[in-house]
């Protein structure tokens, strides 16, 4: 009998396998290793101290936890139900049993938002977003984020936003003219999708203000260009629940995307490549123009160039007094373009849409605002003039409070920490606690929507649209850690929204011409509209889930 040694057996076995079989075995082993590693990590996190907090323990599943009900429909209302049942501080289950903290306690949220070195964007979330939008200021962390923010901050200062107000007014006037023509064609009153038209106006505005680029989407014949198409391809709005599930799985388990990306992911990758090609061309042309004008590789800040955001960024980035180690690469500058598009387009168009929704529901408020706007003796008010209109300011603030379009932000602890509470709570064992221990890897959600609608802060009418409340803001609102006083919508701390002045100025400019120029009312019953909880809160029709705000508009005589 022939005895085969262990080495000979292994060698013989390997020789009998094809390269395809070996590759499959290697990939399978890697997948199994990754899954076991992830599962162990999540098992460890399932032993988090957060498990002792009150909160729902049913209604979720092992894979997605309670995220399934939070993002499967009217998740904001689900969260409000939890807050009512368990108090202002509680925990839920995330993916694979991982615990997440949710709290409306303003002292706790102040700690979370200002300790940005401890609480950062979750790695899986960043991975998915960066793949589509690049490492712009919204999505970077640590020193990279600080360098980008340092260079970008001056471009978003009040003086530069004031200079950009003319661009906002140009697009607002252009939109008014288009809508007027639609009313004439319809015999006096036209039915429109307000969100669609406002999205076109804000895309054109951020193109011009952000990098001096004409998207040209604000027209009556639907003509667009390749950069607009590429951007829409990356950020498609027609997301199904299954596609949301795929997105979560791809972020958490990148190998799934590598092996089976799916048609949607491949299309987005193609659009991202096209967007980067066009964006890099814009960046390099502007950089070359600035350097050619100066005849040097370094310039003095604010010395040359245009006033769009990318030009201002390049001027600051090439300034003589900036350390070479702090300069951004062309790729980092490029990454700001999709960042500007997302932050300056989607959020502002939806915020303005929700303002129109509220004004359409309350005609007396619409008339009060129109009367104020018609007292302005010019079609081109300055930003100072817009900010001096008290009711316009109140309507804008109340819209941002009641209809915050970004409903929550998620952070993950990169080290162990203790979060202080303003109001002690009782844990599941009945113990009174005044702080919450979190371990590295634990996640916390800052529930912007819940804070902005908290009855403990805003009183019993917190769910009502009442602009006059800003005449006498409750003292409790002063504890909200927001970059804009008394509002959580732009959050606070080192990662607060850098473009908050930009967004409010653009919103006011749009409302100025629309409310001044038209009377409008809802084209459907309010009960037929709802908003699916997601990255951006948008109005949808219940009957077909189409994203729109249908209005009847009539020019003011």
- Binding residue ranges: 497
Q: What's the CA gap between 553 and 90, in Å, rounded?
A: 44
| Interior angle at CA 519, CA 513 and CA 525, nearest 5 | 125
Dihedral pair phi/psi, residue 290, rounded to 5°: -65, -45
Neighbours of 139 (CB within 10 A): 23
Cβ–Cβ < 8 Å for 112, 106: no
Quote the tokens at residue 396. 């804008």
Dihedral pair phi/psi, residue 480, rounded to 5°: -70, 125
Dihedral pair phi/psi, residue 554, rounded to 5°: -135, 130
Q: Determine whether 206 is exposed, middle or buried from the number of CB atoms within 10 Å of its CB (0-12, 13-18, 19+).
A: buried
Query: Residue 466 to residues 387, 458, 487, 519, 542: CA-CA distances in angstroms?
Result: 19, 11, 15, 20, 26
- Binding residues for heme, by number, are 497
Q: What's the CA gap between 224 and 215, in Å, rounded?
A: 7
Q: What's the CA gap between 296 and 279, in Å, rounded?
A: 24
Task: State the pairing for strand pair 550-555/190-193.
Answer: antiparallel
| Strands of 384-528, DSSP E | 409-413, 417-426, 432-438, 443-446, 518-522
Quote the tokens at residue 369. 């605002």
Element (H, E) at 481: none
- Cα 55 to its chain centre, rounded Å, is 26
Task: State the pairing for strand pair 538-541/409-413.
Answer: unpaired
Region for residue 305 given its phi and psi (left: phi exceeds 0; alpha: psi -120 to 50; beta: otherwise): left
Cβ–Cβ < 8 Å for 69, 94: no
The full length of the chain comes to 557
Quote the tokens at residue 75. 């998740």
Q: What's the CA gap between 318 and 327, in Å, rounded?
A: 7
Q: What's the CA gap between 241 and 70, in Å, rounded?
A: 12
Query: Residue 43 to residues 98, 165, 248, 357: CA-CA distances in angstroms?
Result: 8, 52, 19, 45
Return the closest-CA partner of residue 544 out of 534, 530, 523, 526: 530
């Amino acid at each position: 009998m022939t005895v085969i040694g262990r080495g000979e057996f292994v060698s013989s076995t390997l020789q009998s396998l094809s390269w395809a079989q070996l590759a499959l075995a290697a990939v399978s082993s890697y997948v199994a290793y990754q899954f076991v590693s992830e599962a162990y990590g999540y098992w460890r996190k399932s032993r988090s101290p957060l498990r002792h907090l009150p909160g729902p323990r049913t209604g979720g599943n092992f894979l997605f936890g309670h995220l399934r009900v939070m993002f499967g429909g009217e998740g904001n209302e689900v969260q409000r139900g939890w807050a009512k049942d368990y108090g202002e501080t509680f925990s839920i289950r995330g993916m694979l049993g991982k615990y997440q903290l949710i709290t409306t306690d303003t002292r706790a949220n102040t700690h979370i938002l200002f300790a940005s070195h401890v609480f950062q964007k979750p790695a899986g979330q960043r991975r998915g977003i960066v793949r589509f939008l690049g490492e712009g200021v919204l999505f970077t962390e640590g020193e990279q984020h600080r360098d980008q923010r340092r260079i970008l901050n001056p471009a978003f200062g009040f003086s530069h936003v004031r200079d950009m107000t003319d661009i906002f007014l140009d697009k607002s006037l252009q939109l008014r003219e288009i809508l007027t023509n639609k009313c004439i064609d319809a015999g006096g009153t036209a039915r429109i999708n307000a969100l669609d038209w406002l999205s076109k106006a804000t895309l054109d505005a951020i193109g011009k203000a952000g990098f001096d680029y004409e998207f040209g989407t604000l027209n009556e014949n639907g003509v667009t260009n390749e950069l607009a198409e590429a951007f829409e391809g990356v950020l498609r709005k027609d997301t199904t629940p299954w596609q949301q599930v795929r997105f979560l799985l791809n972020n958490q388990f990148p190998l799934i995307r590598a092996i089976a990306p799916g048609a949607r992911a491949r299309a987005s990758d193609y659009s991202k490549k096209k967007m980067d090609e066009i964006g890099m061309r814009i960046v390099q042309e502007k950089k070359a123009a600035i350097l050619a004008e100066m005849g040097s590789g370094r310039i003095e800040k604010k010395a040359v160039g245009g006033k769009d955001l990318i030009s201002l960024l390049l001027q600051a980035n090439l300034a003589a007094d900036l350390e070479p180690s702090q300069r951004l690469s062309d790729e980092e500058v490029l990454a700001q373009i999709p960042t500007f598009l997302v932050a300056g387009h989607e959020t502002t168009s939806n915020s303005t849409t929700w303002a129109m929704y509220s004004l359409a529901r309350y005609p007396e408020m619409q008339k009060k605002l129109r009367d104020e706007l018609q007292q302005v003796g010019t079609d081109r008010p300055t930003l100072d003039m817009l900010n001096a209109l008290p009711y316009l300011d109140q309507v804008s603030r109340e819209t941002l409070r009641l209809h915050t379009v970004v409903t929550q932000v998620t952070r993950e602890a990169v080290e162990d920490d203790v979060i202080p509470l303003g109001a002690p709570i009782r844990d599941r064992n009945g113990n009174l606690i005044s702080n919450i221990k979190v371990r590295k890897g634990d996640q916390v959600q800052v529930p912007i929507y819940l804070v902005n609608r908290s009855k403990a802060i805003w009183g019993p009418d917190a769910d009502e649209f009442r602009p006059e409340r800003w005449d006498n803001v409750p003292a409790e609102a002063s504890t909200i850690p927001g970059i804009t006083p008394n509002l959580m919508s732009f959050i606070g701390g080192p990662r607060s929204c850098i473009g908050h002045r930009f967004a409010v100025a653009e919103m006011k400019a749009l409302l100025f011409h629309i409310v001044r120029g038209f009377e409008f009312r809802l084209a459907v019953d309010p009960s037929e509209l709802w908003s699916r909880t997601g990255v951006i809160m948008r109005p949808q029709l219940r009957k077909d889930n189409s994203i729109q705000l249908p209005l009847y508009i009539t020019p003011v005589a």
